[in-house]
């Protein structure tokens, strides 16, 4: 988006509302090009994928400068493990942004909302910019806001499913009721689904699999970035509500050559 419509999270101004995950990129050079060509400003990285020995293939060396890095706590099964991952990331890498991801469900990979609340309260109290990934639930989102979360990141559908906004109604409730940025995460499979999320009022969209496994990840990243921008513009333009009847785009009277009564 243009600087006239910035998103502010954790005191940082973000103009591109498309966030990109890096977990499934097989080629780091392609990942870097995708970030650069799409204008992505926020990138999530799993700590376990970061080479802290600084070898030539260190993932962080392929992330462009001035990109906001957000460590995700992928692999954490409870709040204690997620807190440990976040602390290691800050101490070893100086990264203060953290996407809380607490999953103890190997079949559906659904986030543990209650452990996420515990983790958020601890890390927000330690000065982290905390962006918790959740199953969309109004009561949970309210607790996260009280705990000091910088945003909430509700899943659109199951991770990696590409099914889009299966949880649309519940996400809409969060958008209406929570005074925090809502970043739709997980299950977004194509750019049109990202645009749909933005049209309904989401503040940003995060995708990973849909871009990284595409035939051309660079072009797909650009497509997502443009779709998010288009969706945001449409939301701000306030499209009229869907109607169950026809409505002419031109008057039905005064046709050319029509004789006057």
Residue 56 has pLDDT above 60, yes or no: no
Task: From 117, 165, 169, 110, select the one nearest 141 (Cα to Cα).
Answer: 117
Residues 6 or more apart whose CB falls under 8 angstroms from that of 91 comprise: none
Rg (CA), the chain: 20
When the pLDDT of each residue in the chain is averaged and rounded to a whole number, the result is 88
Residue 8 has phi, psi (to 5 degrees) of -110, 120
Q: pLDDT tens across 58-94, in order? A: 777 788 888 999 999 999 999 999 999 999 999 988 9
Domain architecture of the chain: domains with CATH: 7-237 (3.20.20.70)
Reported as a single tens digit per residue, the pLDDT across 189-210 is 999 999 999 999 999 999 999 9
> pLDDT per residue over 86-123, tens digit each?
999 999 889 999 999 999 988 999 999 999 999 999 99
Does the pLDDT value for residue 239 go beyond 90?
Answer: no
Catalytic residue chosen out of the listed positions 28, 99, 107, 118: 99
Question: Which segment of 71-75, 190-194, 232-236, 246-250 scores lowest on mean pLDDT?
Answer: 246-250
pTM value is 0.86
Residue 235 in tokens? 């939301």
- Answer yes or no: 169 catalytic: no
Q: What per-residue confidence (pLDDT) applies to 3? A: 47
The helix/strand/coil state of 71 is strand
pLDDT one-digit tens code per residue, 138-172 = 999 999 999 999 999 999 999 889 899 999 999 99
């Amino acid at each position: 988006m243009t600087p006239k419509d910035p998103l502010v999270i954790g005191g940082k101004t973000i103009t591109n509302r498309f966030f990109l995950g890096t977990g499934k990129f097989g080629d780091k050079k392609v990942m870097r090009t995708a970030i650069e060509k799409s204008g992505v400003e926020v990138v999530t990285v799993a700590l376990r994928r970061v080479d802290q020995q600084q070898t030539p293939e260190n993932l962080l060396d392929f992330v462009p400068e001035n990109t906001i890095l957000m460590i995700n706590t992928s692999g954490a099964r409870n709040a204690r493990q997620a807190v440990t991952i976040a602390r290691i990331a800050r101490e070893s890498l100086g990264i203060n942004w953290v996407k809380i991801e607490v999953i103890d469900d190997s079949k559906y990979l659904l986030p543990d909302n209650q452990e996420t609340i515990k983790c958020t309260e601890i890390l927000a109290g330690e000065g982290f910019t905390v962006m918790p990934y959740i199953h969309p639930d109004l009561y949970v989102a309210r607790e996260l806001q009280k705990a000091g979360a910088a945003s909430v990141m509700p899943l659109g559908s199951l991770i990696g499913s590409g099914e889009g906004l299966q949880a649309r109604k519940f996400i809409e409730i969060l958008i209406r009721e929570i005074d925090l940025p809502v970043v739709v995460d997980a299950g977004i499979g194509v750019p049109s689904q990202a645009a749909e999320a933005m049209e309904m009022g989401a503040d940003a969209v995060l995708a990973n699999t849909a871009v990284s496994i595409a035939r051309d990840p660079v072009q797909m990243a650009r497509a997502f970035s443009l779709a998010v921008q288009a969706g945001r513009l449409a939301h701000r333009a306030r499209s009229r509500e869907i109607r169950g009847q026809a409505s002419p785009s031109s008057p039905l009277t005064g046709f050319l050559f029509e004789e006057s009564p």
